[in-house]
Amino acid sequence: MDVKVSVILLIYMVEKYLPACIESAIGQTYKNLEIILSVSEGPDRCVEICEEYAAKDDRIVVVKREAKGRGPGRNFGMEAVTGKYVLFIDGDDRMGLTMVEDMLELAEKHRMDAVICGDEYEYENEPQKKEPHIAEMPEVCGREQLYATILSRKAFGLEVWNKMFLYEKIGDIPFPDVIAEDRFWSVQAFERLDKVGYVPKADFHYVVRGDSGSRKPHVMEASMKADQLMCDNIVSHGYLQRECAYFMFNSCYNALYEAIHFGYFEYGSWKEPYDRLRQCAKTVRSEKTCRKQDRIKAGIAMFGFHPLVWFMRLSMRLKPAGLYDDNEE
């Protein structure tokens, strides 16, 4: 194959991780790459590192920008794309050796709009811990199966870093300058995808930096808003209504829990999310396929907003190590 693939690396304050990230792109088994380093100038050596690698490999394009956020950074990278397909990688993660080759082979074979691969979480504080995520998903599927897999919360979500897109399908969609920018972008992009491929292999390595139990304030709140936009799109197609209700119950619950945990919770501003959570709770309570602990949470939510907040505060005292555990059974 002689198809050019553009790989956009989003880089800011990741000096410690950047060489491994760039080398994972350079070392791909598929060689016809355009490696775009969208780097913000900061107090570390990221810019210098990018320029050093560019001097060694003519496939590398360095796009220097002011520190204006993740969304604008991805947009700067998109402006430089000349490839047929595009991937988005964060500067502190790594690509598996055959990631591009595996995804491109499937994309060209079936003329895909996008291809997704499995991933593996690597924990900085626990070097021996590896957490692979492989979806139960057909090699070729449509948009409904894509959404169903996301709603299952078992493999991948709206993040962009384990996905390759046909550029002509999504090249005109700008990334917003907000928290969780890639999730909002994906909500728009997924609505354009008619044919999606899946590589059941942990080809992407996501580095969980620092304390894996910690969360930055407002991330889950922003994710909740993107999730709602996605679910509104799904329901408008007339399928997966119950799955969307269960998904949104967890999304709203986690966002509210985070707000209380980080101390930016105010009753007045959470009325609308609670109303949505309570509406979804009706479905969760009646669905035996939902996890037992979620049905309990849903039951408490039905009693009212104040009892739910009290329950969350109590659970934080009983389980202070982490905010929530999506994998617990």
CB atoms within 10 A of CB 57: 12
Domain assignment of residue 326, yes or no: no
pLDDT digits (tens, 9 = 90+) for 94-122: 999 999 999 999 999 999 999 999 999 99
Q: Is residue 197 located within the same domain as residue 225?
A: no
pLDDT at position 76: 95
Global pTM value: 0.91
Residue 298, domain member (yes or no): yes
Of 208, 230, 256, the domain-final residue? 208
In which domain, by residue range, is 72 found?
A: 5-208
- 39 and 116 co-located in one domain: yes
Same domain, 66 and 182: yes
Q: How much is the average pLDDT of 218-222?
A: 89
Q: What's residue 119's pLDDT?
A: 96
Around Cβ 235, how many Cβ atoms within 10 Å?
14
Across the range 18-33, mean pLDDT stands at: 98
Structural domain contains residue 329:
no
Q: Are residues 223 and 203 in the same domain?
A: no
Instruction: Assess if residue 328 is contained within a domain.
Output: no
pLDDT over 90 (residue 261): no
* pLDDT at residue 320, rounded to an integer: 52
Q: What is the mean pLDDT of the chain?
A: 92
Same domain, 136 and 230: no
Which of 183, 208, 233 marks a domain boundary? 208
Q: In this prediction, what percent of the chain has a pLDDT beyond 70?
A: 94
**Total number of domains constituting the chain:** 2
Q: What pLDDT is attached to residue 48?
A: 96
Residue 327 pLDDT greater than 70, yes or no: no
Does 42 lie in the same domain as 64?
A: yes
Q: Say yes or no: 227 and 98 in one domain.
A: no
CATH, residue 183: 3.90.550.10
Question: Does the pLDDT at position 45 exceed 50?
Answer: yes
Residue with tokens 């502190």: 92
The verdict on 204 and 243 lying in the same domain is no
Query: What value does the mean pLDDT take over residues 9-28?
Result: 96
